[in-house]
C-alpha cells in the first residue's frame, strides 16, 4: 500500500525512514517545505498525520493543525500519530464523519532515544474496530511479528500516552531532587545514581541531571500540563503532577 506522511518533524522523519527500510516510497507533505501536491497524498491508500499539537494559552493541546489536515485529507485510511488529549480521537471521528485510528508515538527527542521505538509494542486506539484492524495489518507489514500489538478504545491510548510522558517528567524531577539531596550531604550524585541503578527496577532512562536542570522540550512539559488540565476538567486535582510541574520550574530557574 502506498502511504503518505503529513508533517515532517521528528515523527514524520522517523516514519519515512521506517517505510523506506521496508521497501515503500512514501509521499511526504509538509506545508513548511513549500508547495507539495495534496492530490499525491490523497492518491495513497493510507496517511499518517504527524503535525504538532502544541500547548495553547489555556495549557491544553491545540488540535488546529490536525483539523486543518483532516479538512482536505481523503485517503481511505487515516492514522494520527500526533499526541492527542483524552477524547480527541472519538470527537474528531464524529466531527469529520470518518474512522480515525490513533497510534501514539514513543520516539523521543534525544540523540539516545531508541532507533526502533516500535520494536516492543504498538498501541492502536479507535472507535472503529474495522479501521483499527486495517491499520494493524499495515503496521504489521512494516514492523513484522515481534512487537506486541494492542487495539483499544481511543481514550485508553490517549491517556496511556499522556501518562507515559507525565511519568517521565516525574522521574526527571525525582532525579533532580536526589541530586540536590546528594549535594546537601556533599555526596556525588553520579556515584549515588550508579548504586541506585544496580536495581534493574529503577531503569536508567531519564536519570541524568543536566546543567540546565529539570526537563524541557516539545513533549514532557505540554503533555504533563494538558493532563493536569484535563484531570481538573473531570473534577480531579492531580496534586502530584501539579507538584512535578512546580518543582520543574524551581529546577529550571536555579
Nearest to 7 by CA among 85, 63, 90, 65: 65
Cell of 223: 503533555
Region for residue 43 given its phi and psi (left: phi exceeds 0; alpha: psi -120 to 50; beta: otherwise): alpha
Summarize pLDDT for 72-117 with one digit per residue, the tens. Answer: 999 999 999 999 999 999 999 999 999 999 999 998 877 777 777 8
Q: Span 173-198, mean pLDDT?
A: 98
Give the model's confidence band at 32: pLDDT under 50 very low, under 70 low, under 90 confident, else very high: confident
Summarize pLDDT for 191-243 with one digit per residue, the tens. Answer: 999 999 999 999 999 999 999 999 999 999 999 999 999 999 999 999 999 99
Q: Which residue has the higher pLDDT, 66 or 32?
A: 66
Angle at CA of residue 51, ends 162 and 54, nearest 5°: 50
Summarize pLDDT for 10-21 with one digit per residue, the tens. Answer: 999 999 999 999
Cell of 220: 514532557
Instruction: Enumerate domains of the chain plus CATH numbers.
Output: 3-152 (3.40.50.720), 159-253 (1.10.1040.10)
Going from the C-alpha of 221 to that of each of 61, 85, 213, 217, the distances in angstroms are 11, 14, 14, 7
Q: What is the pLDDT of residue 110?
A: 74
Q: What is the pLDDT of residue 59?
A: 86
Q: What is the pLDDT of residue 35?
A: 66
Amino acid at each position: 500500500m502506498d502511504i503518505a506522511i503529513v508533517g515532517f518533524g521528528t515523527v514524520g522523519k522517523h516514519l519515512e525512514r521506517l517505510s523506506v527500510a521496508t521497501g515503500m516510497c512514501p509521499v511526504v507533505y509538509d506545508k513548511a517545505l513549500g508547495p507539495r501536491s495534496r492530490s499525491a497524498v490523497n492518491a495513497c491508500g493510507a496517511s499518517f498525520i504527524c503535525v504538532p499539537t502544541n500547548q495553547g494559552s489555556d495549557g491544553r493541546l491545540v488540535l488546529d493543525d490536525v483539523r486543518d489536515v483532516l479538512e482536505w485529507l481523503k485517503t481511505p485510511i487515516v492514522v494520527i500519530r500526533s499526541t492527542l488529549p483524552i477524547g480527541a480521537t472519538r470527537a474528531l471521528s464524529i466531527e469529520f464523519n470518518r474512522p480515525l485510528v490513533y497510534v501514539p508515538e514513543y520516539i523521543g527527542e534525544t540523540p539516545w532515544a531508541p532507533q526502533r521505538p516500535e520494536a516492543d509494542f504498538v498501541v492502536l486506539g479507535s472507535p472503529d474496530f474495522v479501521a483499527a484492524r486495517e491499520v494493524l495489518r499495515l503496521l504489521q507489514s512494516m514492523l513484522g511479528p515481534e512487537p506486541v500489538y494492542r487495539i483499544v478504545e481511543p481514550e485508553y491510548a490517549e491517556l496511556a500516552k499522556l501518562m507515559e510522558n507525565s511519568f517521565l517528567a516525574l522521574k526527571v524531577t525525582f532525579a533532580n531532587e536526589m541530586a540536590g539531596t546528594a549535594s546537601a550531604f556533599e555526596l556525588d550524585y553520579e556515584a549515588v545514581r550508579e548504586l541506585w541503578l544496580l536495581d534493574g527496577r529503577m531503569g536508567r532512562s531519564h536519570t541524568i541531571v543536566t546543567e540546565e536542570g529539570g526537563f524541557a522540550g516539545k513533549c514532557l512539559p505540554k503533555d504533563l500540563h494538558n493532563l493536569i488540565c484535563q484531570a481538573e476538567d473531570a473534577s480531579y486535582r492531580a496534586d502530584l503532577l501539579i507538584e512535578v510541574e512546580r518543582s520543574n520550574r524551581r529546577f529550571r530557574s536555579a
